[in-house]
Chain A
């Protein structure tokens, strides 16, 4: 691999990492901050992608579909919290696992009933449709660069919201001690409903803006679910900075795992076993730092 190709691969890795952060961002809130183990995160991502496809068909423009989709997903998040999640805050975490597992099945069937089982795609908006030549052979799509930019802005906003605003303070307080926060006169129910809805909206938003590059298909939610948990857990639960660092590292591991050739004792390990690279990476990180890379003190 020459230097220039290496640099392009580095770009690929970072770009993929930023995309992973985007996809996992909602989980950082719901799981990282609220402490709810939400297995249906991938379903919200899938719902977002299907919303982007179906709304841009009906409304004629991706740019109108986007805000409409966000409003709908906030409403969906509020509804789910009110119907299901709010009953489980004081319960065993495994009840949340069970419930959100049930939601995966429900969403997948509702998707099939509502939108069918076809593969779809969402056109890249004309404004961002171009590409920038990198070598005589290879160009980089502008939309991917725009996605990266959105991720960076989003990460900045989330960090600011959680660390430096009054709302963030209440969220953090609520996450470490519900009862105490309530006794300070904060309406914890409204607060939690909002945070959950924000998390759902983030997941759906990720699905919507990733749709033009990822295509829209039935199993897409389950595909991202595990990697989202990997990102949030490796980063250290509840840390936006940690999640960002983890996402970038995983992006790089995944990218280079596919193209670097590694032999151990005459046996080709990479790229033949590239599928396991992020799991090996996660195991190493967690055995080395059993609480994740950057831990926010919770207890």
Chain B
């Protein structure tokens, strides 16, 4: 298999564009150059806190194309990349750059929800086809749902929703939920209490830590005072490492079981070490999923990038699979907008995460697995929720 290589074509063209601007000349700019290549925009974080996620998504995307010599629906692909730095203040500028300047046929982005919201606004006005490979903001496939916006990852509503059922089944009927005080955290908390209450549990307290503060000691003390049957949480990255370690160091781990949305243990198990052993989490993927698709995917990823695939790589991979399906239907013609959208709506994706389909609001209907951390690995215990569909509140499509 050829190793997919990153390109910087878009940026080179920008240099030409920049020269044109400086000289105020009438040189044709990036978008005017005609070619029959498919123009794919990648708006992802390549620097900052989420840099790893951006790289994994791009790797996954390119890996899916590697079998077809890097082609999509038989057409060569030209990539246009922008580093969004996960900075919402620059979101519209960056989205506009890739949509208006590079005139991409399809835009793939992004990781950060706030950045995604800015990106979607620009894409809605321009009518650009967008595939979201991570950002979970409920609104993207909720009140802002739109025929040209698709998501291949999850909505923030999804990962914490199945937790409640699992916890009640394990006999934990009174729980505390703790997360960061920001959009994704608030949405995760809301969805958790919805699922937990429906399953017969009662939420003793929801705790919100100022984002991105990682000093949890005060709240751990409060949890110990409340003495719930269990604690559920949503954290990711550096905060997830610190929370899991602090929870164990405070001696709570053996007394009050800790559950979490699966992001708690994604890509950070090495750093969490012993403290994470035994944690139960729910997510739409697990490294250890024992299916032929997942085994093949993981081997290929390891070969191509000398790194272990993660859930973000899968999301990037599936984004390419979805696009592939749609373009096969139209013979590589992305201009047949309605046909492309209809094909994506009807697609059944055989993903490393299992089979999934698109909801009417364009968010995956997918299985959520219950995973337990064993020997530094997320082992699949079972399916926590079969074919979970986001309620897509406020979507009139």
Is B67 in contact with chain A by the CB < 8 A criterion?
Answer: no
Asked if B217 and A255 sit within 8 Å, CB to CB, the answer is: yes
Contact A12 B217 (CB under 8 A): yes
Nearest-CB distance from B232 to chain A (Å)? 17
Any A CB within 8 A of the CB of B396: no
Given contacts A223-B212, A271-B208, contact A215 B271 (CB under 8 A): yes
Q: By the criterion CB–CB under 8 Å, are A215 and B242 in contact? A: yes
**Pairwise interchain contact B273-A258, C-beta atoms closer than 8 A:** no
- Which of A131, A217, A271 has a CB less than 8 Å from the CB of B249? A131
* Chain B residues bordering chain A, tally (CB within 8 A): 42
Residue of A nearest to B227 (CB): A137
* Proximity bits, B183-220, A CB within 8 Å = 1, else 0: 00000000000000000000000011111111101111
Closest Cβ–Cβ distance, residue A168 to chain B (whole Å): 32
B45-53, B149-157, B312-320, B348-356 - interface stretch = B45-53
Is A215 a contact of B221 with CB atoms below 8 Å?
no
Cα distance A175–B237 when bound, in Å?
Answer: 42
B238–A9 CB distance below 8 A: no
- Knowing A119-B241, A119-B271, say if A138 contacts B214 (CB, 8 Å): no
B214 neighbours in A (Cβ, 8 Å): 214-215, 223
Distance (whole angstroms) from the CB of B335 to the closest CB of chain A: 38
Contact A118-B52, Cβ < 8 Å, known A12-B217, A259-B219: yes
Closest CB in chain A relative to B313 CB, distance in Å: 15
Bound complex: CA A271 to CA B221 (Å): 15
For residue B337, CB closer than 8 A to chain A, the reply is no
Please measure, in the bound complex, the distance between the C-alpha atom of A13 and the C-alpha atom of B208, giving whole angstroms: 18
Chain A, 1-39, CB within 8 A of any chain B CB: 1-2, 5, 8-9, 12-13, 15-16
Which of the four size classes fits the interface of chain A?
Answer: 35 or more
Question: What 1/0 mask marks residues of chain B from 218 to 256 whose CB sits below 8 Å from any chain A CB?
Answer: 111110110100000000011001100110011110011
What chain A residues lie within 8 Å of B94 (beta carbons)? none
Interface pairs (24), CB distance under 8 Å: A1-B225, A2-B225, A5-B221, A16-B217, A109-B47, A117-B52, A118-B271, A121-B241, A124-B249, A131-B249, A137-B256, A138-B250, A138-B251, A139-B249, A140-B250, A215-B242, A218-B49, A219-B49, A219-B238, A255-B218, A259-B218, A272-B181, A274-B208, A274-B209
Instruction: Report A's interface with B, CB cutoff 8 A.
Output: 1-2, 5, 8-9, 12-13, 15-16, 108-109, 112, 117-121, 123-124, 131, 133, 135, 137-141, 143-144, 213-220, 223, 254-256, 258-259, 271-272, 274-275
Given contacts A223-B214, A275-B181, 19 further A-B contacts (CB under 8 A): A9-B221, A16-B215, A117-B52, A119-B237, A119-B238, A120-B270, A124-B249, A137-B252, A139-B249, A144-B249, A213-B245, A213-B249, A216-B238, A218-B51, A254-B215, A258-B209, A258-B210, A272-B181, A274-B208
Which residues on B are within 8 Å of A, measured CB to CB? 47-49, 51-52, 181, 207-215, 217-222, 224-225, 227, 237-238, 241-242, 245-246, 249-252, 255-256, 267-268, 270-273
Interchain residue pairs A-B with the least CB separation, the first 8: A275-B210, A217-B238, A139-B251, A137-B224, A138-B224, A121-B271, A215-B241, A141-B249
